Amino acid sequence: MCGIIGYVGRKQANNILIDGLKRLEYRGYDSAGLAVLDDGTICSLKRVGKVRELEKAQEHFQHNGTIGIGHTRWATHGIVSEGNAHPHLSDGSHFAIVHNGIIENYLPIKTFLLGKNYTFYSDTDTEALANLIDYHYQKEKNLSFVEIVRKSLLHVEGTYGIAVLGKMFKEEIIVARKSSPLLIGIGDGENIIASDASAIARYTKQVVYLNDGEIASIHPDTFSVTTLYEGLVDTVYHELDWEISDVDFKGYPHYMLKEIFEQPAAIENAMRGRFTQDGSSTKFGGLPLASQELCSIERLLFCACGTAYHACLEGKYLIERYARIPVDIEHASEFRYRNAPLGRNTLVFVVSQSGETIDTLGALYEAKRKGNLVMGITNVVGSTIARATDGGIYQHAGCEMGVASTKAFTSQLTILSMLALLFGRRRDMDYATGQQYAHALRSLPERVEEVLGLSEEIRLIAERYYRMEHFLFLGRQGMYPIALEGALKLKEIAYVHAEGIPTAELKHGPIALISEGAVSIFIATQKELLEKTVSNIQEVRARGGKVVVITNDNRIEWKVISDDVIVVPEVHGGINPIISVIPLQFFAYYIGILRGYDVDRPRNLAKSVTVE
C-alpha cells in the first residue's frame, strides 16, 4: 500500500523521483523519502507527512546523481517517523532499499544479523532486508549485484516489491517482486521503475510488468529479467493507455471532484464497441466463452473488496433480475480461508480497479486451484489480475487518483449491468426487451450529465448537515448496495459514523439509532416500492430524525415528510443504481470539504491494498 519510484539514466534523478512520488502519493502518504547515488555515496532524504514536505527539503538537497530510488509510505511495521520512513540504508550505508509488502520472518533475520554485529535504527521489517543484502555482499564480494539480492531474497518469507541501490554499483538498480506490483518503464538512455504506471506515464508509454518471483537488473540502456531461481524470462512489452492529463487536476480543486465529473466519459469508454450489431445485447471480446458455454453456466461467483464488493453486490441484483442466474458474492479477503463449494458450472469473476488488490488475488488463485474458470474486471491493463485470469473485461475508466473511488465504481456498475444484459439475452430475455435495455445503457452518459447538474443543490444540502455525526443510508433491493457505498464514501472522507441498511430492516434494530442528531438518507428510486419507503420515512420522522430523500418521483408528498429532496431522472432499472449513487458521491465530497479534510488523501487509507 505504498509507492515506489526509481530512475537510472543521464538526467538528474532528484526531480524525477519527486515528480513520481507526487503521482504515487495516493498509494501512501504517512512519510516519503528518496536516495540518490552521487559520486560513490548514497545520499538519503526523508520527511514525515506528504510529499510536499520532502519537496521543500529537497530544495537544499544538492546532489547531481543520475540514479536513485524513492518511496511514499503507508505505515505497517513501526510508527510514522523519519526513522521508519523509506529508503532504508544498510548498516554502513552500502545499500539503500525501498520496499512494499511485509517481510513475515523479519524477526529471525534481524536476530541473526544482530548476532553478526549489525546495528538497526528503525522498527521496520524492511531494514532487516537491507542488512541481509549487506551481509551477503560482505560474505561474497565477488558476486554480482543481482546475485547478492537474489541470495538474500531466498531467505525471505512474505510479500515484497523492492528496489535496491548499491554504492559499489554505479549505474544499476535491482528490483524484484512477490505479490506486490512493479513495472519497468523503457526510455531512451534511461529506465524508470515504479509500483504504479501513473508515476511514469509522463516519461514513457512502453512498460514491462514484473511477475511474481522475478528479479531484474536495470541499467540506463538495458535491463534483464530472470526468476529468483535463475530461469530466463521472455519479457513482454505493454503500451500504456493513460495520458498525462489523466493524472492532472484539469482545473478542479480535488481529484475526487474531477473524477466525479469524468463519469460520463468513463461510462462511455466502458461501453464502447461492446454492443451487438442488432442492438439487443452486449459482447465482450475478453471473455473466451462460446455462446453454448455461456448458456451452460449455472452459477456466478463474484469476489471483491470494499467499493468493488458493493459493485458486485449490485451486480447480483441486476443479473438475478434480468438473467435469472444465481449469483453469490464473497468478500475476497474471506474466500480463500473458508472451504467454499464451487460447482463445475460456476463461473468466477474477480473485480479490482487496480488489478493488484492482494486479497482479490488470493481469491483468484484459490478459485483457479479448484479448477474453475476465473474472469477479471479491472481498470489497469497489464495488472497482475489482468494477467493471471483466464479472460476478462477492462474498464477503460482512465487513471483514478482519488482514494475514494467514484468513476471506477460507476464503470464497474456499467460493466455488470452489461453482463446482466448479455446473460439475459442468452436465456429468456426477448429481443425487444434486450433492445430497450441496450438503449438505456447507451443513454447513460447523457443521463449522468443531468445528475452532475445537481452539484450545487447537493452542496447546499451538505451545508445543513456537515456538523452531524451520525448518518444512515437506506435502500431497498438494488438500492441497498448503493446505500452501502454512500455510507462507505462518507466514512472514508468525512470520518463520521455512517451505515448502509436495507430499508425494511430499519425496524429490526437500527431504528434505535434514530435521534435528532442522526440524518437518514433514503434512496427511493424504485417505483414499485415507494409506498413502503414512505412508511419507513414516517417512522424516522416520528422519532425526530432528519430525512433526506433521493428519488426519481417528483411528488409533493416528499417535501412534506422529508427535510430535503434530491430529484434524479427516472431511468431503466438496469442503470438506475448508477444514477442513484452520484448524489451520494457529491454529498460525501462536500461534507468532507466542509469539515476541512483532504478528500483525496483520507487518513489511514491508501488507494490500492497490496498487503494483508
Give pLDDT tens digits for 326-373.
Answer: 999 999 999 988 888 888 889 999 999 999 898 999 999 999 999 999
Same domain, 431 and 463: no
Instruction: Kindly tell me the sign of the dihedral angle through the C-alpha atoms of 114, 78, 612, 6.
Output: negative
With b meaning 16 or more CB within 10 Å and e meaning fewer, what string describes 336-353? beeebebeeebbbbbbbb
Task: Strands of 261-335 (E only): list them.
Answer: 299-304, 327-331
pLDDT reported for residue 368: 93
Same domain, 337 and 284: yes
β partners of residue 161: 100, 177
Same domain, 515 and 594: yes
Task: Based on the residue annotation, tell me whether 2 is a catalytic residue of this protein.
Answer: yes
Same domain, 375 and 434: yes
User: 306-322 and 480-494 are packed helices; what angle lies between their axes, rounded to 10 degrees?
Assistant: 170
Same domain, 224 and 79: yes
DSSP structure class, residue 497 = E
Position 610 in a domain: no
Mean pLDDT, rounded, for 507-534: 91
CB-count exposure of residue 456 (10 Å: 0-12, 13-18, 19+) = exposed
Mean pLDDT, rounded, for 487-492: 97
Measured CA to CA, the distance from residue 189 to residue 605 in angstroms comes to: 37
Q: Which CATH number do you get for residue 43?
A: 3.60.20.10
pLDDT reported for residue 586: 98
Measured CA to CA, the distance from residue 188 to residue 495 in angstroms comes to: 46
Peptide bond into 87 cis (omega under 30): yes
Same domain, 366 and 510: no
Other Cβ atoms within 10 Å of 32 Cβ, number:
32
Q: Catalytic residue, from 151, 489, 491, 607: name it.
A: 607
The predicted-structure confidence for 416-463, as pLDDT tens digits, reads as follows 999 999 999 999 999 999 999 999 999 999 999 999 999 999 999 999
Q: Return the SS3 of 161.
A: strand
More confident residue, 309 or 556: 309
Same domain, 353 and 455: no
Same domain, 293 and 426: yes
Instruction: Kindly tell me the sign of the dihedral angle through the C-alpha atoms of 52, 53, 57, 61.
Output: negative
Task: Based on the residue annotation, tell me whether 532 is a catalytic residue of this protein.
Answer: no
Q: Return the SS3 of 160.
A: strand
Same domain, 83 and 186: yes
Same domain, 287 and 230: no
Q: Catalytic residue, from 2, 43, 305, 399: name it.
A: 2
The tally of domains found in the chain comes to 3
* Residue in this structure with the C-alpha cell 456466478, named with its chain if needed: 300
Rg from Cα positions in the chain:
26
Position 403 in a domain: yes
Position 612 in a domain: no
Other Cβ atoms within 10 Å of 428 Cβ, number:
10
Instruction: Supply the range of the domain harboring residue 527.
Output: 451-602
Q: Residue 214 is inside which H or E element, if any?
A: strand 214-218
* Last residue in a domain, options 442, 462, 487: 442
Does 513 score more than 80 pLDDT? yes
Least confident of 4-8, 27-31, 138-142: 27-31
